[in-house]
């Protein structure tokens, strides 16, 4: 049986965790800080749990340079849960702001209330004619997010800004030119997935067309960064909301992090009563998906897995200790590892076909096909995977929906691990055909 040291695991998630973090967590799971209880047994409302939560928030903000006017929330439900939560919350914000605009336009004298039926009629008209949520569809996950929005509020309210399949022969693998994006006027949000794990596509920087100007009409930009968070510097201030599951670069499965502008939370914006949303035919989200509720309760409205928060906190402490320049140091390493692997693949075009376009290649999920053997692609990939496993390079099989090979180059993959994979890629290409 192989030891942990003999394996380099390139699985897409749950992903590899640093061994030192797991060793520390294992001790905490049995007896945390000599309390006689394991961390998973302590109350999530204890002072001990609150300290872990607050410390993890502080370290995350420090590592990513999160501005003070943002709130960090720990939630549950994964990235897929956030497909729903973003719609529930930001549609509510859109309608609340539209309500204030209607009241202003009607010029209601101070102290006088507008008749409910008049307000409801104007709001319903606004919802029917103006409400849109915008989605940039660049891969499997952003497609699923857009489909969930259509399921919740109706396809008539969902605007596909651009569909990458239309510029790539029906398959994902390219990022459509920004000049072709068809953005709505004043949408409730503009959503995109920064890194598509299934399709190996990553948006290399914040889209120019979405950059804020400081005006009231700046779009509410939402990004799913589940698989590349903590791997590169991001302009947090350009986003209204960022969410990510922990199980790629931050920690273990079980918690989801939301970084949200405080201007989207009460008292900066007033959320609507469920009764009004029902009258407008809009969905009412579960209370555990309410950003207002989670923020009010410091992420402890319901039983949060403090043990998973602790693991995330230990990962962050290790990152801060390893990289004095914080995320910039990790970015240099991530780029170096990706460059090594892609260079090995590019060196043998007769043996490998990289799936995404060169300008859209993900640094985190390197997707390719093996065409080495004359017997065909299926046999080539079976042989490639077997040889890789024999060398301790595991987790390389592509997603079941697209097949192929996928090397997930998350933060916990060492430079030596990336070098070992690059060397194997070259050796396989040079072998019998």
Q: Is the dihedral of CA 4, 10, 12, 15 positive or negative?
A: positive
Out of 3.40.640.10, 3.40.50.620, 3.40.50.720, 1.10.1200.10, the CATH code matching 67-298 is: 3.40.640.10
Q: What is the pLDDT of residues 227-264, one digit of tens each?
A: 999 999 999 999 999 999 999 999 999 999 999 999 99
d(CA 292, CA 298): 10
pLDDT at 90 > cutoff 70: yes
pLDDT at 80 > cutoff 80: yes
Q: What is the pLDDT of residues 355-413, one digit of tens each?
A: 999 999 999 999 999 999 888 999 999 999 999 999 999 999 999 999 999 999 999 99
For residue 131, the model assigns a pLDDT of 98
For residue 294, the model assigns a pLDDT of 98
Please report, for the chain, the start and end positions of each structural domain, with discontinuous segments joined by +.
67-298
For residue 110, the model assigns a pLDDT of 60
For residue 270, the model assigns a pLDDT of 83
Q: Alpha helix locations (H) across 75-221?
A: 78-106, 116-130, 140-153
H or E stretch covering 362: none
129-136-86 Cα angle (round to 5): 70
pLDDT class of 432 with cuts at 50, 70, 90: confident
For residue 214, the model assigns a pLDDT of 86
d(CA 255, CA 245): 6
pLDDT at 108 > cutoff 90: no
Identify the three-state secondary structure at position 365.
Answer: strand
Yes or no: say if 80 and 144 are a contact pair by the CB < 8 Å rule.
yes
d(CA 369, CA 380): 9
For residue 262, the model assigns a pLDDT of 97
Strand runs (DSSP E) across 149-250, as ranges? 158-163, 189-193, 195-196, 201-202, 221-224, 241-245
Structure tokens of 221? 């930009």
pLDDT class of 105 with cuts at 50, 70, 90: confident
């Amino acid at each position: 049986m192989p030891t942990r040291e003999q394996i380099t695991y390139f699985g897409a998630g749950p992903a590899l965790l640093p061994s030192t973090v797991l060793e520390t967590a294992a001790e905490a799971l049995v007896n945390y800080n000599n309390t006689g209880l394991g961390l998973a047994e302590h109350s999530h409302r204890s002072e001990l749990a609150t300290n872990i939560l607050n410390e993890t928030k502080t370290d995350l903000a420090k590592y990513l340079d999160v501005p003070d006017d943002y709130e960090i929330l720990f939630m549950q439900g994964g990235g897929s849960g956030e497909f729903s939560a973003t719609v529930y919350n930001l549609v509510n914000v859109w309608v609340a702001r539209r309500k204030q605009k209607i009241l202003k336009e009607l010029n209601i004298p101070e102290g006088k209330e507008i008749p409910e039926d008049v307000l409801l009629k104007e709001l319903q008209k606004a919802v029917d004619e103006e409400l849109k949520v915008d989605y940039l569809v660049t891969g499997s996950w952003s497609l699923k997010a857009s489909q969930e929005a259509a399921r919740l509020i109706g396809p008539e309210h969902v605007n596909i800004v651009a569909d990458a399949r239309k510029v790539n022969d029906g398959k994902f693998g390219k990022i459509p030119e920004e000049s072709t994006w068809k953005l709505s006027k004043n949408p409730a949000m503009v959503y995109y997935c920064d890194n598509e794990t299934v399709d190996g596509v990553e948006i290399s920087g914040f889209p120019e067309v979405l950059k804020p100007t400081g005006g009231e009409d700046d779009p509410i930009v939402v990004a799913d960064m589940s698989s590349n968070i903590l791997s590169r510097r991001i302009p947090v201030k350009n986003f209204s909301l960022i969410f990510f599951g922990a199980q790629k670069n931050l920690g273990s499965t079980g918690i989801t992090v939301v970084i949200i502008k405080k201007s989207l939370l009460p008292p900066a914006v007033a959320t609507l009563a469920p009764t009004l949303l029902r009258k407008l035919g809009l969905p009412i989200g579960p209370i555990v998906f309410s950003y207002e509720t989670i923020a009010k309760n410091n992420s402890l409205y319901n039983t949060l897995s403090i043990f998973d928060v602790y693991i995330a906190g230990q990962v962050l402490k290790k990152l801060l200790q390893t990289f004095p320049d914080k995320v910039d140091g990790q970015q240099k390493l991530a780029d170096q590892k990706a460059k090594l692997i892609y260079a090995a693949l590019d060196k043998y075009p007769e043996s490998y076909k990289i799936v995404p376009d060169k300008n859209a290649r993900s640094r985190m999920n390197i997707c390719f096909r093996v065409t080495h053997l004359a017997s065909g692609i299926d046999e080539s990939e079976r042989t490639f995977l077997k040889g890789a496993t024999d060398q301790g390079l595991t987790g390389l099989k592509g997603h079941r929906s697209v097949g192929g090979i996928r090397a997930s180059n998350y933060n916990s993959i060492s430079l030596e691990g990336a070098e070992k994979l690059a060397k194997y890629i070259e050796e396989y290409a040079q072998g019998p055909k």
